[in-house]
Amino acid sequence: MKIATVIGGRPQYIKAAVLSPRLRTCAREVLIDTGQHYDEFLSRVFYEGLQIPLPDYHLQVGSATHGVQTGHMLAALDPILQQEHPDWVIVYGDTNSTLAGAIAASKLNIPVAHIEAGLRSFNRKMPEEINRVVTDHVSSKLYCPNQEAVNNLTREGITQGVKLVGDLMDVLIDQTPDDREFLDRLSLWGKSYALATVHRAETTDDKELLQGVLQAFAELPWPVVIPLHPRTRSRIEEFSLESWLSREGIYVIEPVGYREMITLERHAQAVLTDSGGVQREACHLGVPTYILRNETEWTELVVRGQAVLTGVRYEDIIAAIGQGHWDPGPRPEDLDPVNCIIKDLQRGN
Ligand code: UD1
Ligand code: UDP
């Protein structure tokens, strides 16, 4: 079996780090990195820290508008997939790299396996929602992280090739050791700080919303550590909001490697985030989680009481944190996504 895996952004490096080593015990994997993320802290740090094999192809598309970026990926993927002619193309999640991999493969009649299929925010203004919907509709294998994702696909008429496998990210969190030295280097200790990440276009592209989020961070009852995504940094500069980053109690750091991030999450008093991956991880680790969005694809976290959906406006974030009671139920049992996916791919179409 020959598999081409298309990755290109931070969360995809992390997911590939879980599946690729096992995949390579029973298949030949051709790894294609689109180059959507190129900063050292968004890409190289994961290749090194998670021992991801170097890509066979690096497309070096870099940043651009959605259409241009996705178009460059498609143009570069087409000849590679024709030449390699894999049995499957694997794509992860919901980025422009996911969409490009899925469209390039399906146009060549190469079956697509989508990992993290079926998630929906029901907000078509999110670029990720478009990417998910289109990718799911051209995929032959749809590996869902939870039952709700399966239900979403059923509602859209997709029932063939759908499988509930669980979330790959759960596997990696549990295998990741603490990096206490890293906490020491930042002069942090357990439960003395909150951790915050924000990078979604719908928040960071709006000056008023972004300022409100930064103001809410400055008024938290804990000091807050912010590994700042380059998109957010550039919007803060563009909107001249830099002064919020030097407020007392705000500690801005560069984005960190996976092990460091899990350590920061594990020891935080609270996690505030608009990231899909970070909200899942923080809940998995049992840390009070505030989702800085109006809706989430991971509604089960809110229903179970593991996370609170705060909205993105300053007043709403402050009100949600002020309520502050926390009583999450027991964590559901983990599935075995790696084995489920590999066995299913081996069974064929
Ligand atoms: C992308 C994904 C998002 C995912 C996130 C993970 C899409 C539409 N969005 O968002 O779903 O949650 O990755 O982190 O695919 N930039 C840099 N250095 C880099 C990469 C980006 O400075 O290495 C800056 C550039 O100014 C760029 C901006 O970030 O224009 C946005 O980058 P892009 O890859 O388009 O989207 P993300 O916001 O990173
Ligand atoms: N992450 C990381 N370092 C950071 C911020 C996030 O390693 O500085 C990890 C995080 O632990 C999670 C993943 O990146 O596994 C989430 O990626 P991101 O928030 O960029 O994207 P999303 O999950 O929202 O698509």
Write down all domains in the chain, each with its CATH number in brackets: 2-164 (3.40.50.2000), 178-323 (3.40.50.2000)
Q: What is the pLDDT of residues 296-338, one digit of tens each?
A: 999 999 999 999 999 999 999 999 998 866 666 677 777 899 9
Catalytic annotation, residues: 199
Contacts of 164 (CB under 8 A, 6+ apart): 144, 146, 147, 149, 150, 335
Residue nearest to atom 12 of ligand 2 (CA): 277
> Which of 52-61, 84-93, 237-246, 340-349 is predicted least confidently?
340-349
pTM, full prediction: 0.96
Contacts of 205 (CB under 8 A, 6+ apart): 235
d(CA 119, CA 46): 25
Average pLDDT, the chain: 95
d(CA 80, CA 59): 10
Contacts of 56 (CB under 8 A, 6+ apart): 30, 31, 32
141, β-bridge pairs: 113
Return the best residue to mutate from 134, 231, 258 for the ligand 1 pocket (most ligand atoms within 8 A of CB).
231
Ligand sitting nearest the alpha carbon of 266:
2
DSSP state of 244: G
Mean pLDDT confidence for 47-54: 95
pLDDT computed for residue 335 by the predictor? 84
Q: Which atom of ligand 1 is nearest to the CA of 275?
A: 12
pLDDT computed for residue 325 by the predictor? 64
Helices 10-23 & 337-347, crossing angle to 10 degrees?
60
344 pLDDT above the threshold of 80: yes
> Which helix (H) or strand (E) segment is 15 a member of?
helix 10-23
Tell me the pLDDT band of 224, cut-offs 50, 70 and 90: very high
Pairing between β-strand 250-253 and β-strand 162-164 as defined by DSSP bridges: unpaired
Mean pLDDT confidence for 70-79: 98
Q: What are phi and psi of 171, to 5 degrees?
A: -65, -45
190 pLDDT above the threshold of 90: no
- Residues framing ligand 1 (Cβ under 6 A): 9-11, 36-39, 42, 63, 94-96, 127-128, 199, 230-231, 234
Structure tokens at 80: 């590679």
Return the best residue to mutate from 65, 95, 125 for the ligand 1 pocket (most ligand atoms within 8 A of CB).
95
- What's the chain's length in residues? 349
pLDDT computed for residue 250 by the predictor? 96
72 pLDDT above the threshold of 70: yes
